[in-house]
Amino acid sequence: MAGAGVVAGGGLLSACVDKSEKESGEKVKALTTDGQIIEVDKAVIKTPRVSIKESHEGIPGRKFVMVIDLAKCKNARKCVESCQKGHHLPQSQEFMKVYLLQDSDKSAPYWFPKPCFHCDNPLCVSVCPVGATYKRTDGIVLIDRDRCIGCKFCMTGCPYSTRVFAWKHYKEFEEDKEPYSPEASSPGKEGTVSKCDFCPDLIRIGKLPYCAQSCPMGVIYFGDIDEDSVTNGTETFRFSDLISDRAGYRYLEVLGTRPTVYYLPPVERQFPVDRGFNDLDEKIKNRYKETPYGKTHKL
Amino acid sequence: MENKNTREKLLREFAPQIERASATSIIWILFLISVIGLGIYAFINQVTQGHEVTGMRDNVVWGIYIVNFIFFMGMSYAGAIISGALHLFRTEWRKPIIRMAEYLAIISLLIGPGYILLCIGRLDRLPYLALFGRIQSPITWDVIAISTDIFGCLIFLYLSMLRDIANLRDFKELKLPKWRKKLYSALALGYTGTPEQEKRLKSATDIMAAMVIAIAIIVYSVLAWIFSVTLQPGWHSTIFGPYFVIAAVYSGTGVLIIAMWVFRKIYKLEEYITRKHFVAMGVLMVVLAALFGYFTFSDYLTKWYGSEKNDENLIKILFTQYYWPFIFSNYIGVLIPLIVIGIPKLRSITNILISAIIVVLALWINRYLIVVPTLESPYLPIQDSRTAWVYYYPTWVEYALTAAGIALFCLLFTLGSKFVPVMNVSEMSEAPKSGGQFKSEESLI
């Protein structure tokens, strides 16, 4: 069901259909603007090339929002892996990070996937000396890799440790064949900062961001706050209902950054927290050794 | 008016260091150049292999480069504030040491910004700061402020050297190659000491002295705001502007005392730089020690007492992982000068020198403790299996470039002292104004 073709609820289909392409034989479903589901060949769907100017302005009339359901996360790490693949990231860079949090000694530990919060009051944007990182009309905060001077001020400005720096030239960066666009999941560049971009290139062709697409538990909902709908690919909710029914909140609201990522608290969980350690790579497991949970459970 | 005899006596005394370099000084200069060479090698490494060769990673994105940046900029502002204030108040004991303070201001100002460049991932895009500069960003404030400061300090230093340059031009006994004589006469701008020229120079120097004080305070506050405008625990503090200014002047007095001691020793200036000068600078250092201790205490007290979770965590780290550096920088670094200079019996030149060295080290560590532990304890706990991503350890590249900065500082100071005497000859040959004369150290207290 998930997989390639189903377009996000309320999504817009802006894929160009190019008849001259050879057919691949693989059909995908797509939603037209008048609400019809159609089948088209995979090869004919192309991402419209977005100019640098367009990628600075944002998708008109949209305001994106993400909802992460902590009750369902079991640290499967599919979001991290597909994001790394989609964005040509080296192993050492993660746009999506999964934390094991525990708010206090007696409170329960829980898994906490953390993308960029695409704040409405983004400190990273304020402090950037060259306008390399910017806020778009659709709410997305992006980085222009060709503008960034690598001063890392945005990294100290962000209170959520979201941004990553290219400390050297990684071989994954060489995959850069397409002309550069800040929103096209282009590979990074040595000496510049990058981060989660909400995958605007996928949104434009009506797909969900990599993390939301790939989560086997459907933890990550993505949508439009003006359309008041979010979907994880299988279920679609009214955003406002979901937030009010499940007591959605934003992380560290007290800082006043006004994130556009909401969390649903880890109540009535589908999995115990230690399921998150199943089949986990030893290196990844070591990350959680020094957490309060890791110490008491001798990871 | 300058006293001609005193001037000639002084110039004759300084002639050897201006005229030639002794064997020791050549070895010293070669040593400094080789340290700088090592720094250049480290820098090439960093450029070709990327910033991975440093100990900085995604959490601790700024390391000892920024610490050195704050430190050198601090010394510069200290030099500017001390020389500006001493000049404006016509303090009599300033005369033998004011040139050193001016050198301190300008030399550290030339080195400091180099360290922030070392933190920049794409040096090739440096022009973007001007091309696409955004005034909202504190970095842009810093760029504007620092360039203004460099400009202001250069003018101030030049104005205060002008009379001595003219003296060197006119001093016929000086055996120098032709090009240097030509350089002096070009730089002297035709100054001959007519009453009109003297009047103009005096008012220009006064204006610049006042300006450099104001600029220095603004620039160092801007630097502090780079930290305090962020939301990071330990940085997000309203006190940082004045705190940084005080810390800067404090560390600068320490460096100045060390410089006084070194030049007194190598150029045999015992006759001019005496114990009373050390005591006078020491008293200044004590006042600043008290202020610095007060600011440090206020900052940490309020963080600890109200104890927000992240502040509490930071304080815990400072008092466990960084216990000795914290005690050294914020207790010993404050108490030693208070004791040594506070008790008149202990005020020997050596004791004052030792406390100055302690102050300088303490203040460098103080900046380290402001920058690094905060970055090691962000809001979201660092969960990483790579030790380098969790804790910051400077690498040889960073140490080499730190050493190179210090070497460049010493080299420029040495060369500066060979170009124009480290003491303001023209001011020293002026008769002290009645009433303002500095009689004994007792009059200080």
Whether residue A24 lies inside any domain: the answer is yes
Residues A11 and A141 in one domain: no
Structure tokens at B343: 């008790």
Residues A181 and A62 in one domain: yes
> Mean pLDDT throughout A86-110?
92
The pLDDT, as a whole number, for residue B25 is 85
Whether residue A282 lies inside any domain: the answer is no
Contact B119/A157, CB-based, under 8 Å? no
A225 to chain B, any CB pair closer than 8 A? The answer is no
**Which residue range is the domain that position A33 belongs to?**
1-46
Q: Compute CA distances B108 → A48, B101, B359, B402, whole Å.
A: 53, 11, 17, 13
Question: Domain of A169: which CATH number?
Answer: 3.30.70.20
The pLDDT, as a whole number, for residue A251 is 95
The pLDDT, as a whole number, for residue A45 is 60
Contact (CB, 8 A) for B66 and B371: yes
**Which residue range is the domain that position B350 belongs to?**
4-429
Contact (CB, 8 A) for A25 and A41: yes
The pLDDT, as a whole number, for residue A12 is 42
Instruction: Report helix angle B64-88 to B396-419, nearest 10.
Output: 20
What tens-digit pLDDT sequence spans chain B (445 residues)? 567 777 777 787 777 777 777 888 889 999 999 999 999 999 999 999 999 999 999 999 999 999 999 999 999 988 888 888 888 888 878 888 888 888 888 899 999 999 999 999 999 999 999 999 999 999 999 999 999 999 998 999 899 888 888 888 888 777 778 888 888 888 988 888 888 988 999 899 999 999 989 998 999 999 999 999 999 989 999 999 999 999 999 999 999 999 999 988 888 888 888 888 999 999 999 999 999 999 999 999 999 998 888 999 999 999 999 999 999 999 999 999 999 988 888 889 999 999 999 999 999 999 999 999 999 999 999 999 888 889 999 999 999 999 999 999 999 988 888 888 888 878 777 765 544 444 444 444 4
Residue of B nearest to A128 (CA): B137
Contact A291/B126, CB-based, under 8 Å? no
Residues A3 and A70 in one domain: no
Residues A169 and A193 in one domain: yes
A124 to chain B, any CB pair closer than 8 A? The answer is no
A133 to chain B, any CB pair closer than 8 A? The answer is no
Whether residue B439 lies inside any domain: the answer is no
Contact A156/B230, CB-based, under 8 Å? yes
Contact (CB, 8 A) for B311 and B233: yes
Contact A159/B232, CB-based, under 8 Å? yes
Task: Tell which residue, A95, A93, A98, has the closest CA to residue A171.
Answer: A93
Q: Which residues on B lie below 8 Å from A92 (Cβ)? A: 386
> Mean pLDDT throughout A241-266?
95
Residues A154 and A110 in one domain: yes
Structure tokens at B111: 């080195």
One-letter amino acid for residue B378 of the chain:
P
One-letter amino acid for residue B175 of the chain:
K
Contact (CB, 8 A) for B136 and B291: no
Residue B237 region by backbone torsions, left for phi larger than 0, else alpha for psi between -120 and 50, else beta: beta
Task: Tell which residue, A78, A135, A66, has the closest CA to residue A280.
Answer: A78
Residues A62 and A207 in one domain: yes
Contact (CB, 8 A) for A210 and A80: no
Q: Which residues on A lie below 8 Å from B230 (Cβ)? A: 123, 127, 156-157, 159
> Mean pLDDT throughout A206-216?
94
Residues A137 and A225 in one domain: yes
Whether residue A298 lies inside any domain: the answer is no
Q: Which residues contact A253 (CB under 8 A, 6 or more apart)?
A: none
Residues A113 and A232 in one domain: yes
Whether residue B419 lies inside any domain: the answer is yes
One-letter amino acid for residue B311 of the chain:
D
Residues A60 and A39 in one domain: no
Contact B50/A163, CB-based, under 8 Å? no
Whether residue B435 lies inside any domain: the answer is no
Phi, psi for residue B192 in degrees, rounded to 5: -125, -5
The pLDDT, as a whole number, for residue B22 is 80
B25 to chain A, any CB pair closer than 8 A? The answer is no
Contact A150/B143, CB-based, under 8 Å? no
Instruction: Report helix angle B333-342 to B349-376, nearest 10.
Output: 160
Residues A58 and A5 in one domain: no
Among the ranges A10-19, A80-89, A167-176, which has the highest mean pLDDT value?
A80-89
Residues A22 and A149 in one domain: no
Whether residue B444 lies inside any domain: the answer is no
Q: Which residues contact A20 (CB under 8 A, 6 or more apart)?
A: none
The pLDDT, as a whole number, for residue A31 is 73
CB-CB: which of B56, B122, B380 is closest to A148?
Answer: B122
Whether residue A281 lies inside any domain: the answer is no
Domain count, chain B: 1
CB-CB: which of A149, A289, A290 is closest to B122?
Answer: A149
The pLDDT, as a whole number, for residue B427 is 79
Domain count, chain A: 2
Whether residue B191 lies inside any domain: the answer is yes
Strand partners, A134: A142
Contact (CB, 8 A) for B109 and B153: yes
Contact B137/A165, CB-based, under 8 Å? no
The pLDDT, as a whole number, for residue B425 is 79
Residue B26 region by backbone torsions, left for phi larger than 0, else alpha for psi between -120 and 50, else beta: alpha
Question: Domain of B362: which CATH number?
Answer: 1.20.1630.10
Task: Tell which residue, A142, A186, A194, has the closest CA to residue A165.
Answer: A194
Residue recorded with tokens 């002026």: B430
Whether residue B86 lies inside any domain: the answer is yes
Task: Tell which residue, B424, B235, B445, has the closest CA to residue B344.
Answer: B445
CA dihedral A277→A282→A288→A294, nearest 10 degrees, is 70
Residues A14 and A156 in one domain: no
Contact A291/B383, CB-based, under 8 Å? yes
A159 to chain B, any CB pair closer than 8 A? The answer is yes
B117 to chain A, any CB pair closer than 8 A? The answer is no
